Chains A and B, each alone.
Chain A
């Protein structure tokens, strides 16, 4: 159980175009989803936290108009990179936090990541 998928797994787009990445919790409902960015050989940097039905909360230094996040349902969050440029090339990872239950463990379940290359 607790599987998170991301689509696409990799994408190449031209500079100036927009690209959408989907994050889905397949077998559980997620109140909160998180979006991370990871550069080669570096750690995960949190970009934003999204809650179902409300606006995302962005970390300091992350451009909310460039990285649009929508959390339309308890199983789907999307990250849209608008007007992408080569410096946006990176590995984007989402994670999902399940609905709180009596034995809530605070574990986040991670998707497999999406490699974005902007040419």
Chain B
């Protein structure tokens, strides 16, 4: 079974600064997907970024980028130019693709607080 570990329960960053959230995972699979989801106070889960394991290039979505280290099984999220709206719980998730019933395995989450 796959496991996902987020070792930072809480983090704080000042407005306009950069912050990196850590995620490691354990799997014997070679083909898989990794995700970062954001859950703001509304509790609506929002996809932040997705990485396919067979792609060496790190995924980027505007201010969000990842550092994917497949050999180290590490998948960190960097948020640049942090904004107050980035305040949320961030969950790292692993998926082994098995069709439309592919399951997500979530980490325990990191609570990010953006301050002025």
Interface residues of A (CB under 8 A from B): 31-32, 34, 38, 41-44, 46, 49, 51, 57, 91, 93, 95, 97-100, 104-108, 110, 112-113
State the majority secondary structure of interface residues on B: loop
Q: A107-B50, A112-B43 are in contact. List 4 more A-B contacts (CB 8 A).
A: A44-B106, A98-B100, A104-B100, A110-B37
A106 touches B33 (CB 8 A): yes
Given the interface pairs A42-B108, A43-B107, A44-B91, the reply to whether A110 lies near B44 with Cβ below 8 Å is yes
Q: What residue in chain A is nearest B95 (Cβ atoms)?
A: A106
Given the interface pairs A106-B97, A107-B50, the reply to whether A46 lies near B43 with Cβ below 8 Å is no
Contact with A along B98-109 (1 / 0, CB 8 A): 011111101111
Interface residues of B (CB under 8 A from A): 33, 35, 37, 42-47, 50, 91, 95, 97, 99-104, 106-109, 111
Q: What residue in chain A is nearest B44 (Cβ atoms)?
A: A112
CB distance from A26 to the nearest CB of B (A): 14
A49 touches B101 (CB 8 A): yes
B33 touches A49 (CB 8 A): no
Q: What residue in chain A is nearest B111 (Cβ atoms)?
A: A41
CB distance from B49 to the nearest CB of A (A): 11
17 contacts between A and B (CB under 8 A): A32-B101, A34-B104, A42-B108, A43-B91, A43-B108, A44-B91, A46-B103, A49-B101, A57-B101, A97-B100, A97-B101, A97-B102, A104-B100, A105-B50, A106-B95, A108-B104, A112-B44
Please indicate the chain A residues that have their CB under 8 angstroms from the CB of B50 in the complex.
105-107
A106 touches B102 (CB 8 A): yes
Please indicate the chain B residues that have their CB under 8 angstroms from the CB of A99 in the complex.
100
Q: What residue in chain A is nearest B99 (Cβ atoms)?
A: A100
